[in-house]
Structures are given as C-alpha cells and as structure tokens.
A = this chain, B = another copy of it.
Amino acid sequence: VRVRVAYKTALSINIYDIAKSAGVSIATVSRVFNNNTNVSPKTRQKILDVAESMGYHPRAFAQGLARRNTKTIILIVPILSNYYFMEILAGMQDKLLEYDYDLNIYNIKGFESVEELRHQVEYVMKKGLADGYALVSVHLPESDWESMLRFRTPVVLVDEFSPKFDSVSVDSIEGAYTATKFLIDSGCRCVAMISAVETSKPIRDRIHGYKRALEDSGRLVDADLIICGDDTYRDGFTEQAGYAAMMKILNHPSKPDSCFCASDIQALGALKAMRDAGKEIPIIGFDDIQISRFLGLSTMRQPMYEMGSMALDKLMDRIENPNRMVSHTVFSPELILRTSTTVLNQATETAQP
C-alpha cells in the first residue's frame, strides 16, 4: 500500500501509474521512454500524453540500477572558481554534445591535506554515480594513483600525469624553459620567478624549467629570486599572491628586470602591483586564460579548450573499451607575446593584437 504525505505522493508517480492510465504494460511504457522503435505510433502517443499530464519521468536511480550504467560522467575538480578550469570545461561540454551523456560536476571542497583530497575523490568515485570520471587539476602522489586503480573505473586526468591513467596535459618544464629563455635571450639581466606552493607536479615542473633555462644560459640560479606571495590560499594561485610577490620583486636587492610567472592569475596581480608601484618590468605568465588576451599579458598558452575536448574523447573511449591501452597527450605550450613584454622590442611574428 502506498501511503505518503500529500507532498510525497505526487512525487511518486511511477511507471505503473502510467501503464495503468494508458492501458498498457510497464514494458511498453519503458520502451517509449527509451526510444525503442517497437511501439505503435498510437500507443506511443497515448503514453506520452499520459506521462506529460501526470508529470512523469523515469527515475534516474531506478534506471541506473536496472541498466547498470548511468549515462553520465562526472568531472571532479578541487577549485571551481578558476578560469583555467572553465575553459577545460567548455571544451568538454561542447564535445559532450556528440555523446548521449550527461555531465555532472563535483567540486572537492575544503580539503586540508593530500590524504583528505584523495579520500574525497575516492568517495565520489566509489558511489558509482557515473560511468567515468574526468579529474581536472587533481594532484596526488603516484602511490595514490596506483591505489586508485583498484576501482577499475574509467578515469581521465587533465593537468596531471600518472602512467596508468589516460591523461591530457602540457609540458610545464618546456613551457617554463621557453618563457625564461625568451626573457634571457631578449637581453634581460635578472629574471625572477613568481611561484606558488609546490604541492603539484605542474608547479614543480615550472620551477624546474625556469632553473634549467638559467643554467643553460650560464646564469646562476638564485633560489631567493623564486618568489611566492604571502598567503597560501589556493596554494598561492591568486591575484593577491601575485601582487604581493611582484611587490617583493620590485623591492628585491638584485633588482630583477623581468619575470616569469607560474600562472596567469598571479600575473594579473603582478601587473597591478607594477601599476601601483609605477615600475614596470616585462612579465610572461602561464595558461593564457581569456582575460590575459584582454589585458595584454604575454604568456605560455595551454590549449585548454582542446584539452577538455580531447579528455572527454579519451574518457568515452575508455568507457567503451576498458582494456584499450593507456594514452597520454602532452601539449607543448606556445609562447604568446603581447604588451606585457613589448619593451623587449623583440621580433613579433608570433604576437597577437
């Protein structure tokens, strides 16, 4: 017997109610909602009408149970409010239109440690709410990735690398190297770097690339010139942190005359710091988020949209072919020159307006 409060009652219209009203079996109702062609047009219309008038729609949970697949993929990201992520997302969403899948976003919130981050990611994956998972900017030690293999769930990594999972990323070492080398080769005497908390592979790689460029040019690496902001909110990937870091650079005894910045978002703060201080040095960021073009920030471009698009393809392929070989795509960041480096008077073949 179905006894519910008024409110719940209306919610619980189910396939049996529709079948009864339409004078058919539940199998037929199900066929209509699954676009099965083996239903007479008349019956189909009748069922559709009844369903519409009663506000019926198959319960996703029941479908998921019966079908054993969910037709949805979940995108897991630690920091949502982030231009970088937004462009990755855009690429995924557009690509998604080619598939009959839904996209759901899980924002990992309030993790204080890598362990907690891992737990939260695993928690989402274990519940089995999706057929596959795209993890964007989830940075975990290799041992954690290894252990995640046990879920045997289709996963694609974006902005991260682990041998056992499909991934799409950018060569951060190369990008940092290119940017730093450009500044050196343009005649800069002292190149500082704006960095952030070194918990993630990408940031470590960028520091690595920066150092290597200096070494390759016969410069001394001065750890004191790798500068962070004061607070570690969001691991230092904020305008504020970039602002503080640039202020330190401008007042640094070595008097840096140029700067490679680990991310565009920090570079935006750095740009403002320079305006406020009335001093300007060339700066190159990393990412090429939309606002960078707008503000004339030179940067190492990541093809974020394409990365999102490609990641989705990989994930779908993995869902359909679980045993396919793991594949990694690593893009080379592209140096985009804009006004934040024009004083260098460099050849501007690659420059954009």
Seen from chain A, the residues whose Cβ lies within 8 Å of a Cβ on chain B are 5-8, 10-11, 55, 57-62, 64-65, 70, 80-81, 83, 86, 89-90, 93-94, 96-97, 103-107, 109-110, 126-129, 150-153, 239-240, 243, 269, 272, 291, 294-295, 322-323
Contact = CB atoms under 8 A, between A and B. Distances in A.
B60 A11 contact: no
10 contacts: A6-B323, A11-B153, A59-B127, A61-B61, A61-B64, A65-B65, A104-B106, A105-B105, A239-B294, A243-B294
A126 B61 contact: no
Contacts of A129: 60-61
Q: 6 closest pairs, A vs B, by CB? A: A81-B86, A57-B126, A7-B322, A61-B64, A60-B127, A105-B105
A107 B89 contact: yes
Identify whether the interface residues of A are mostly helix, strand, loop, or mixed: helix
B322 A295 contact: no
B291 A239 contact: yes
Number of copies: 2
Nearest to A103: B107
Contacts of A93: 107, 109-110
A117 to B, nearest CB: 15
Interface centre among A61, A83, A106, A295 (most CB of B within 10 A): A61
A295 B323 contact: no
Contacts of A55: 126, 150-151
A156 to B, nearest CB: 16
A219 B60 CA distance: 57
A62 B65 contact: yes
A83 B86 CA distance: 11
Nearest to A97: B110
Contacts of A294: 239-240, 243, 269, 272
